[in-house]
Amino acid sequence: MLRLEKLVKTYKTGDQALKAVDLEIPEGQVLALIGPSGAGKSTLIRCINRLVEPTSGNVYLAGTELTGLSSGALRKERRRMGMIFQEYALVERLTVMENVLSGRLGYVGFWRSFTRRYPQSDVDEAFRLLDRVGLLAMADKRADELSGGQRQRVGICRALIQNPALLLVDEPTASLDPKTSRQIMRLVCELCQERGLAAIINIHDVALAQMFVQRVIGLRFGAVEFDGPPEALTPDVLTTIYGEEDWEATIAKVEDEEEIEVAE
Ligand SMILES: Nc1ncnc2c1ncn2[C@@H]1O[C@H](COP(=O)(O)OP(=O)(O)OP(=O)(O)O)[C@@H](O)[C@H]1O
C-alpha cells in the first residue's frame, strides 16, 4: 500500500537525514517509528507526503509514484494522506467544527473553501467523527478553549475527514501527559483498525509504541536498524538503536503501564 525505495534526504546543510531507506507497509498496518533524536523520523514522515522534498528515491502510494508528481497532482494525492501533528496545528480562533471541516479543503472547490461553505454530507461526517472521539458537545467551542488531549482529538478528526488511506502521525503525544498520551495512542490505533487504515506513527516513547502497535521500525543515523514486532525490542536491540541506557527499566515500565491500563 505504501512502498519507499532507496529514499534519500540530504539537507542543504549537508545533513544526511535519510540514507537509502527501503520500506513496505501493507494495507491497514499501523507501525511505530522510533529512534534517537536526529535519526530522521520526522524527515521520513515528511518525505512521504513531500512536505520535505526527497533528494532521491521513490515513494509509491497504492501504486502511484509520488516523487515525480506535479504540484496539482500531488495536491490530489495528499488527500489520501492524513497528517496528525505534535502541536495539533489547529486554527485557534476557529471552532472545533470548523477545524475538523478544514480537513475537507482539499476536496471542495475554490469558492467553497474561500467562504468555508461545506456540503451537508461533510458536516454530518464531522459530527459523526466528533461523536466517535467524545467531543460532540464541544463542536461550537473555539480551539483555544480546549485541553491538549481535546485538541489532538480534533486533529485526529481533521485528518480522518479527509478519508485518507494512510495516516502520517508525527509525535502525537509529545505535548501530553502520560495518561492522555495512552488515550490518544489507543484512539489512533483503534480508529485505524476500524477503518482499515495504515499509519506511521513517529513516537519518542518506546514503551508507548510497544503497547499499541504490531510493528516497530527503529531508525538510527537515517537508516533502518530494526524492523520487527514490539516484543522483539530487547535491551540489546534498543541499545543498537539508541546506544547504552538502562533498558530493563523501560521494558519494566511497559509491564507497569499494562497494569495501570487494566486498573483504569
Ligand atoms: N530543515 C532542516 N535543515 C537542515 N537539516 C535538517 C533539517 N531538518 C532536519 N535536519 C537534520 O536532519 C537530521 C534528521 O532530523 P529529523 O528531524 O528528521 O530527526 P528526528 O528523528 O525526527 O529527530 P527528533 O526526534 O529530535 O524530532 C538531523 O541531523 C537534523 O539536524
Domains of the chain as residue ranges with CATH: 1-80+167-174+199-264 (3.40.50.300), 86-163 (no CATH)
Give residue for cell 495516516.
Answer: 167
Ligand 1 atom with least separation from CA of 9 = 12
Tell me the pLDDT band of 15, cut-offs 50, 70 and 90. Answer: very high
Ligand 1 atom 1: residue of nearest CA: 11
Ligand 1 atom 17: residue of nearest CA: 42
To 5 degrees, how large is the angle CA 81–CA 217–CA 63? 40
Neighbours of 224 (CB within 10 A): 20
Does position 264 have pLDDT exceeding 80, yes or no?
no
| pLDDT for residue 31 | 96
Does position 219 have pLDDT exceeding 70, yes or no?
yes
Distance 222 CA to ligand 1 centre (A): 10
The string of DSSP letters for 169-197 reads EE-TTTTS-HHHHHHHHHHHHHHHHHHT-
The string of DSSP letters for 43-54 reads HHHHHHTTSS--
Tell me: the pLDDT tens digits for 134-154?
999 999 999 999 999 999 999
Ligand 1 atom with least separation from CA of 13 = 4
Ligand 1 atom with least separation from CA of 222 = 14
150 vs 152: CA distance, rounded Å: 5
- The model's pTM is 0.90
Does position 259 have pLDDT exceeding 80, yes or no?
no
Which residue ranges have their beta carbon within 6 Å of ligand 1?
Answer: 11, 13, 15, 17, 35, 37-43
169 vs 123: CA distance, rounded Å: 24
SS3 59: strand
- For 180-202, give one letter per residue: b (16+ CB within 10 A) or e: bbbbbbebbbebbeeeebbbbbb
| pLDDT for residue 107 | 73
Distance 54 CA to ligand 1 centre (A): 13
Ligand 1 atom with least separation from CA of 202 = 22
Distance 34 CA to ligand 1 centre (A): 14
Residue 219 near residue 200, CB atoms below 8 Å: no
Does position 246 have pLDDT exceeding 80, yes or no?
no
2-16, 92-106, 193-207: lowest mean pLDDT where? 92-106
